């Protein structure tokens, strides 16, 4: 088996020592090449080359941004006979890995991956497509994307739950582009105007430190997309849904809520460019994004 290990040395919890242990362990089972990324889009380019060269496995060691780049590289030419994906978390949230049951601890995740390689354990996952970008767990426009963009502007600081919370409060009271209205187009339904839109490919939607954030509990890698949108952003509405999202049972209800599970597609329009994020990374501004669910898009190695 030929494999490439893609390491983001700037990710929150990656270390040179951890990289060496991971590489040594993998090299005992596969013919391994190690690539450290040194610019934005590097992981995407490496994964794209791996898919075109017929590599068997690409392992992403970094945060959700690294995983997203690898996934977009693997799928640049579309689904098909692609390398399998392995993930060893090295970021702060690691939403995709945690949703698959992969340990947050890089050493334990390495052991899980080795067991998966040895036992041939894998699972097929559905992904989301947002315009020209693939996403593994979430995408959004509006307040959510404003927060992601604000955090990205402070890359010199340690990314953690507190930074996201501060940015969320700042963007709520001083939205960078105002509270632009968004129009949702769901197949078979009348268009609805909302103020922020979250699109999920699995549940939890994200994590606040150790606490999962649930928006669409009926959404998984085996279903269509989940949509969670708010028609207003008044403080009582926001407080209600933040509180519900952090509950273990996570039953989202409210008069201002627009929510669907298992959607095959949807579209979001804006009268002016608004911030847009996929898998927790800002990808510019858009006036229209079409979202599509793609079942069985990728094979991921997941060991017990």
Q: Tell me the CATH number at 55.
A: 3.40.50.10330
Closest to 302 (Cα-Cα) out of 124, 35, 126, 61: 124
Q: Is residue 129 part of a domain?
A: no
Residue-level pLDDT at 155: 60
| Sequence-separated (6 or more) residues with CB below 8 Å from residue 94 | 63, 64, 102, 104
Residue-level pLDDT at 17: 82
Q: 17: part of which helix (H) or strand (E)?
A: helix 16-27
What's the rounded Cα separation, in Å, for the pair 182 and 210? 31
Q: What is the pLDDT along the chain (304 residues), one digit of tens a residue?
A: 999 999 998 877 778 888 888 999 999 999 999 999 999 999 999 999 999 999 999 999 999 999 999 999 999 999 889 999 999 998 888 999 999 999 999 999 999 999 999 999 999 999 999 999 999 999 999 888 988 888 877 664 456 667 777 788 887 777 776 678 999 999 999 999 999 999 999 999 888 878 899 999 999 999 999 999 999 988 899 889 988 998 877 678 888 999 999 999 999 999 999 999 999 999 999 999 999 999 999 999 997 6
pTM above 0.85, yes or no: yes
Residue-level pLDDT at 50: 97
Residue-level pLDDT at 257: 95
Residue-level pLDDT at 158: 55
- Same domain, yes or no: 284 and 142: yes
Q: 68: part of which helix (H) or strand (E)?
A: helix 64-74
Query: Which of 65, 87, 120 is the last residue in one of the domains?
Result: 120
| CATH number of the domain that residue 200 is part of | 2.60.200.40
Range of the domain at 13: 2-120
What's the rounded Cα separation, in Å, for the pair 300 and 92? 21
Residue-level pLDDT at 177: 64
- Same domain, yes or no: 204 and 109: no
- Same domain, yes or no: 116 and 141: no
What's the rounded Cα separation, in Å, for the pair 244 and 248? 9
| Sequence-separated (6 or more) residues with CB below 8 Å from residue 46 | 4, 6, 35, 37, 58, 70, 73
Count of domains for the chain: 2
Q: Are 198 and 229 in contact (CB under 8 A)?
A: yes
- Same domain, yes or no: 153 and 282: yes
Tell me the CB-side half-sphere exposure of residue 262, using CA atoms within 13 A. 3
Structure tokens belonging to residue 59: 């392992």
Q: Is residue 232 part of a domain?
A: yes
- Same domain, yes or no: 143 and 287: yes
């Amino acid at each position: 088996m030929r494999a490439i290990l893609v390491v983001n040395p700037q990710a929150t919890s990656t270390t040179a020592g951890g990289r060496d242990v991971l590489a040594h362990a993998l090299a005992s089972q596969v013919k391994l090449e190690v690539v450290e990324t040194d610019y934005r889009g590097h992981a995407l380019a490496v994964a794209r080359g791996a898919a075109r060269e017929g590599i068997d496995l690409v392992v992403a060691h970094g945060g959700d941004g690294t995983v997203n780049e690898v996934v977009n590289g693997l799928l640049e030419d579309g689904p098909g006979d692609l390398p399998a994906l392995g993930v060893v978390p090295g970021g702060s949230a690691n939403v995709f890995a945690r949703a698959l049951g992969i340990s947050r601890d890089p050493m334990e995740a390495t052991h899980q991956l080795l067991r998966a390689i040895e036992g041939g354990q894998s699972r097929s996952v559905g992904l989301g497509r947002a315009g020209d970008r693939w996403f593994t767990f979430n995408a959004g426009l509006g307040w959510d994307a404003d927060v992601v963009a604000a955090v990205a502007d402070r890359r010199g600081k340690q990314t953690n739950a507190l930074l996201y919370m501060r940015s969320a409060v700042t963007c709520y009271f001083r939205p960078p582009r105002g509270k632009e209205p968004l129009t949702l187009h769901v197949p078979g339904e009348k268009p609805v105007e909302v103020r922020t839109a979250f699109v999920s490919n699995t549940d939890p939607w994200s994590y606040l430190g150790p606490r999962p954030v649930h928006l669409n509990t009926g959404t998984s890698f085996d279903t269509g997309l989940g949509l969670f949108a708010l028609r207003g952003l008044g403080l009582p509405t926001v407080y209600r849904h933040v509180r519900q999202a952090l509950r273990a049972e996570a039953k989202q209800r409210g008069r201002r809520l627009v929510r669907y599970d298992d959607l095959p597609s949807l579209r979001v329009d804006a009268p002016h460019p608004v911030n847009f994020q996929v898998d927790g990374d800002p990808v510019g501004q858009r006036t229209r994004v079409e979202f599509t669910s793609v079942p069985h898009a990728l094979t991921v190695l997941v060991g017990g």
